[in-house]
Amino acid sequence: RLLTGHGLTWTEGQPVEGYSNLLWVLAVAFLGRFGIDLINAARLLGYLGMGASIFAILYLHFPDRPARISGSLLGSVAFALAAPIAIWTIGGLEQPLLLALLAWAWVFTLQLMYSTGKTAQRSALLAGLMFGLACLTRPDTPLFVAAAAAALLLCGGFKRENRVKIAWLLAIPIAFYVGQILFRYVYYGELVPNTALVKAAFSWKRMLEGWSYIRKGLMPLGLLSISAVLTLIGASFSHRNRPEIYLFGFSALVWTAYLTLIGGDIFPGWRHMTPLILIFAFLIASGMEWLWDGLQQRFPDRPILSNSLMIVISLLGLFYLFRFY
C-alpha cells in the first residue's frame, strides 16, 4: 500500500497501523521501489541481517592468533545452524534486521564499558544509534536498551563518567522512540501500536503459555542453551568478565520474563527465541575464550596440552552442532 501511494495503512478509510516493525516495512518497500519483488526483497534483507549478526560475533571475538579461533568459530556456527535462525532468515518478518542491530549494539556497548574519553563517547553514540534503529524495528526493543543501561550502571557505578556514558547511550533510542510515538499519534491517532491493542492481555494462563513457549523453544537447542548457562555461571567468578555477564545476562533475563508475560508467540518457528539464540552464541564465543585463558594459566609450561584440550573441545562442539542441530 505504501508503494502504491496509500501510505502506511492497513485498509482504506481511517488510517490503521497494521504493523509493529516500521523500519523493516520501510526497508522492504525501499527495495521494492526499485522493482525488486517484495518477497525477494524481504529474503535479501534477511540474509544480510543474519550475516551481519554473524559478523558481529566474529568481530567481537576475532582471535589474536589462529589457535584462539575456536570461540568465534563455535559461536557463529551455533548461531547459523539454529533452526529458528534458518526459518526467519527467509520468513519475511523483522527478525534479521532486529538481530543485526542488537548484535552491533551489544558490540559497541561492550566497547563503551571498557573505554573512556572520546572513544567512550563514540562507542556510546554508535551503540545508541543501533539501539535506536532497533526501537524503530520492534516496539519492545526498549527492554534491551534498559538491560544495557542497567549493565553499565552495575559495572561502572554512579560515578559522573559512567552517568555520562549512560546518558549518551540512551539519548538516541529515547529520541527515536518518542519520535515514533508522536508520528503514531499524529498519523493514526493512537499512542500505542495497533497490534498491542489486539494482543495485550496479561493473565496467569498467558504466563503459563509463555513459560511453555520458552521451555519448548530451548529444549531442542540442547548444548547451546546449557553451554550459555554454564558460561554465565563460570564467568561470574571472574571480575574481568563482569561486563559481558551483566550485559548478556540481563538482556536474556529481561527478554525471557517479557516472553513469559506476553504468552510467547502465535507464529511457528520460534521467532521470539531468536534474540536469546544470539545472546547464547555470544556467550559460547566468550566462554571458549575464557576456557582458553584458564587452560593457559592452569598449564603455563605445557602449551601442547592446553592446545590439544581446546582442539578436542572444539571438535566435539562442532560435531554436536552438525550432527544434532
pLDDT at 201 (0 to 100): 66
Cell numbers for 168, please give them. Answer: 549518551
pLDDT digits (tens, 9 = 90+) for 301-321: 776 666 666 666 666 666 666
User: pLDDT band at 283, cuts 50/70/90?
Assistant: confident
Containing 78, the helix (H) or strand (E) segment is helix 70-81
Residues 297, 73 contacting (CB under 8 angstroms):
no
Q: Span 71-96, mean pLDDT?
A: 90
Q: What residue spans of 240-302 are helical by DSSP H?
A: 242-262, 274-298
- Judged against a pLDDT cut of 90, whether residue 149 lies above it is answered with yes
pLDDT digits (tens, 9 = 90+) for 6-54: 888 888 888 888 888 999 999 999 999 999 999 999 999 999 999 999 9
66 Cβ partners below 8 Å, 6+ apart?
none
Residues 184, 17 contacting (CB under 8 angstroms):
yes
- Judged against a pLDDT cut of 80, whether residue 56 lies above it is answered with yes
Residues 7, 1 contacting (CB under 8 angstroms):
yes
Least confident of 95-104, 152-161, 218-227, 275-284: 218-227
Cell numbers for 28, please give them. Answer: 522492504
Residues 262, 72 contacting (CB under 8 angstroms):
no
